[in-house]
Amino acid sequence: MKTPLAPLALLLPLALMPMQSLAGKCQSQRVKLQMLGVRGPELLDDQASTSYLIWLDDKARLLIDTGPGSLQNFKRSGADFRDIRAILYSHFHVDHSLDFPGYIKASYFTARDRDLVITGPSGNRFMPSAKTWVQREIGDHGSYAYLSDFLDPALPSAYKVHAETLNWSADAPDIEPAWRDADFRVTAVAVHHGPIPALAYRVEVAGCAIVFSGDMNGDFDTLPKLAMGADILVAHNAIPEDAEGVAAFLHMKPSYIGDAAARAGVKKLLLTHLMARTIDRREETARLIHQRYPHPVRFPKDLDVIRP
């Protein structure tokens, strides 16, 4: 089986390079971003919870979050789980992670023989780290211990799951390397999602850059730097501008989304993770964002495909 992750020491110099230094011209004909879930945790409509799929050369390669219902949309997309190289978790709230064991179980019935990397933030008293979360899901004492052969190196399986915990720090939220291979470079940065450790990701592939804000309220203000010059920014629009209290403690307002996108100079802005409090206020949201950000704003649906 292949070694899934280069030593962190080898990645650190790359993390210090300018964001565009590895990019070059975006080969948009090679890259697709597909929506597998564009809603939050509510029983709202027929759209699945948060999940995104990145294709390269007509093969599905990266998953970002695996919210409930996204597995069914993965099937509908025509993707092959054998081709997935890594799953990047922004955090481990249910609406971002629930379908994970479903993917692992389903993979048993495929010809997958390549190790799978899982990344996610470090933990605190509210949430486990990525490694602990995977152990609690499919480890030998986990909720689905019957899948532990995919995790335990002593047990036979067609491939192994390798969990990598990425640093989350409120004190020094710096952009850090998350994962890379011959085609992809992924970096991540801590974002403020109330008391929950959470990450935003930047995926660079074929000269294109796609950034995922994850759930955040903007207090760390790390998103503009991570998204600098990105071809696509996927931002979560879970609250309206007049939100207060817990909602505003957890999520960013439209004005911040517009400000961050403008400062970063992103080329395309997609708003997802819509909830009941935002789904009927899309025109208002777009208007507020356009006061700061000059380019079109799109509210995609499940299975929509967007090229950089």
Domain coordinates of the chain in residue numbers?
Answer: 30-297
Contacts with 300 (C-beta within 8 Å, 6 or more apart), sequence order: 35, 38, 270, 272, 306
Grade residue 24 by pLDDT with cuts at 50, 70 and 90.
confident
CA dihedral 220, 188, 70, 49 (to 10 degrees): 0
Quote the crossing angle between the two packed helices 130-138 and 100-107, to the nearest 10°.
60
Distance CA 142, CA 27 (A): 42
The pLDDT value given to residue 15: 42
> Once rounded to an integer, what is the mean pLDDT over residues 37-41?
98
Query: Is 271 within 8 Å of 284 (Cβ atoms)?
Result: no
> Once rounded to an integer, what is the mean pLDDT over residues 11-25?
49
Examine the pLDDT at 9 and tell me if it is beyond 70.
no
Strands 116-121 and 31-37, bridge-based pairing: unpaired
Q: 155: burial class by Cβ within 10 Å (0-12, 13-18, 19+)?
A: exposed
Distance CA 269, CA 215 (A): 16
The pLDDT value given to residue 12: 42
> Once rounded to an integer, what is the mean pLDDT over residues 5-25?
47
Distance CA 47, CA 35 (A): 10
Distance CA 176, CA 167 (A): 8
Distance CA 87, CA 76 (A): 18
Distance CA 282, CA 230 (A): 23
> Once rounded to an integer, what is the mean pLDDT over residues 120-145?
98
Q: What is the CATH number of domain 30-297?
A: 3.60.15.10
Reading the block at residue 241, the tokens are 């501008």
Return mean pLDDT, the chain.
93
CA dihedral 292, 306, 43, 61 (to 10 degrees): -120
Amino acid, single-letter form, for residue 220: F
Grade residue 122 by pLDDT with cuts at 50, 70 and 90.
very high
β-sheet bridge partners, residue 249: none
Query: Is 205 within 8 Å of 184 (Cβ atoms)?
Result: yes
Grade residue 172 by pLDDT with cuts at 50, 70 and 90.
confident
Q: What angle do CA 261, 276, 90 make, to 5 degrees?
A: 50
Grade residue 193 by pLDDT with cuts at 50, 70 and 90.
very high
Distance CA 24, CA 204 (A): 10
